[in-house]
Amino acid sequence: MFPNRAAVEGVGDAAQLAEIKGRSLWADARTRFFRNKAAVVSLIMLGLIGAFALFGQFFAQYDKGFVDFSLIGSNANKGVPSIENGHYFGTDSNGRDLYARVVQGTGISLMVGIVGAMVAVIVGTLYGATAGYFGGRIDGAMMRIVDVLMSIPFMFVLILMLVIFGRSIFMLFLGIGLISWLDMARIARGQTLTIKNKEFVEVAVATGVRPIKIILRHIVPNLLGIVIVYATLLVPSMIIFESFISFLGLGVQEPNTSLGALINEGARTMQFGYYWQIAYPLFFFVVTIFAFFFVGDGLRDALDPKDR
C-alpha cells in the first residue's frame, strides 16, 4: 500500500559529501539585528564609548588626580576646553583635567551597569529557571523569597548601608547586585514554566538526563533570548540608579568618580558659566543610555519569535 521509501536508498553515496554548516537561530537573529540601522549605529556608539573608557587615559595630557594650581581662581577663562593647553574638556572646579575625569567616570558607570546586568543574568536566570523547572513547593518558596526582597525599599536600604558602612565601590556593587537579579528571576521563571512543558524537555526527562543538565542544556539556552534583551535594558537603568545615588552624594568616593558624580559637580557650578563641567559628562551619560536602549530594542526585535 505504501510507496517505497526511495529517499533512503542511495544515501550511502552521498555520505561522502562535506558537512553542511547549519544556521542556528542565533545566526538568524544576528542577520535581523544587523538590518536594524538605529541598533547598529548604537552598537557602534557603544563600542566607541567602551574604547574611550578603556583607552582614553592614554591620550590625556594630565593625570586624573593632578591639580593644576595655575588655574585656580581663573577657572572661568583659563579652564575652558582647549586643545592647546591639553585640557580637551577643560578642568573641573578643583583644577583637575576634566577629560581624564570623564574617562574614569565613564568606565566606572559602565562597570556598574555591566556588573549589575551580569549578576542579574547569572543569578537571576539560574534562580528563576530552577524555581520554574522544579515547580510546586520549591517554586513557591523560592519565589516568595524574591517577593519579600522586592518589597524592601532598596533605595532606602542602600542609602542606609552606604551611610553606616561608609561609601565604597564595593558597597555600591553589593547593593546593585542584590536588587538587579530579582526581576530577572521572575522573568526567567515565567519563561521556564512554558518551556518545561515543551516536548523536547519531556524527551530529555524520559531519556534520564539529570535535572541540572536539563536546566542548563534545554531550558537556559531557550530563555537566553529574552534574558539578553532584558540585560541590555538593565544596564542603563543600573547606570541611572548609580547616578542617582551619586547625585545624592552617596555614590562613589573621591578620588574615584562616575558620570553621575561628575554631573552632580557640574550642576553645582553650572550657574557660574562653567557649562562644560556638566556638558561633557552629560553628553556621555545620555549617549550611553540611549545607545543601550536602542541596542536592547534591536535585540528584542531580532530575537522575537513572533517575527519569524
Partner 1 sequence: MNPLLSVRNLSVTFDVRRPGSWPWTPAMKLHAVSEVSFDLQPGECLGIVGESGSGKSTIARAIVGTIPSSGGNIFFEDHDLANMDTRQRRVHRRDVQMIFQDPLAALNPRMTVGEIIAEPLITHEPNTPRKEVKRRVGELMERVGLLPNLINRYPHEFSGGQCQRIGIARALILKPKLIICDEPVSALDVSVQAQVINLLMELQRDMGLSMIFIAHDLSVVKHISDRILVLYLGRVMETAEAHKLTTAPEHPYSQALISSVPIPDPVLERARHRPILEGELPSPLRPPSGCVFRTRCPKVQPDCADAKPALEDVGGRHFVACPYHEAQQVLVVNE
Site for partner 1, rule CB under 8 A: 1-5, 7-8, 11-12, 14-15, 17-25, 198-200, 202-210, 213, 217-218, 221-222
DSSP state of 192: H
Residue 9 in grid coordinates? 536508498
Alpha carbons 183 and 143: distance in angstroms, whole number = 11
Alpha carbons 206 and 181: distance in angstroms, whole number = 32
CB of 2 to partner 1, least distance (A): 4
CB of 210 to partner 1, least distance (A): 8
Cα separations in angstroms, 152 against 18, 62, 119, 175, 201: 59, 44, 19, 12, 36
CB of 148 to partner 1, least distance (A): 20
Which residues lie below 8 Å from residue 99, measured CB to CB, with a gap of 6+? 56, 60, 61, 62, 87, 88, 89, 280
Q: Which is nearer to partner 1, 198 or 268 (CB)?
A: 198
- CA angle, residues 109, 111, 117, in degrees to nearest 5: 110
Q: Which is nearer to partner 1, 3 or 73 (CB)?
A: 3
Q: Which is nearer to partner 1, 33 or 154 (CB)?
A: 33
Q: Which is nearer to partner 1, 14 or 83 (CB)?
A: 14
CB of 149 to partner 1, least distance (A): 24
User: By the 8 A CB rule, do 91 and 79 touch?
Assistant: yes
- Residue that is written with C-alpha cell 547586585 in the block: 177
Q: Which is nearer to partner 1, 44 or 216 (CB)?
A: 216
Phi, psi of 167 (to 5 degrees): -80, 125
For 229-245, letters b (16+ CB in 10 Å) and e give: bbbbbbbbbbbbbbbeb
Alpha carbons 44 and 200: distance in angstroms, whole number = 38
CB of 4 to partner 1, least distance (A): 7
CB of 143 to partner 1, least distance (A): 16
CB of 308 to partner 1, least distance (A): 9
Q: Which is nearer to partner 1, 123 or 204 (CB)?
A: 204
Q: Which is nearer to partner 1, 15 or 164 (CB)?
A: 15
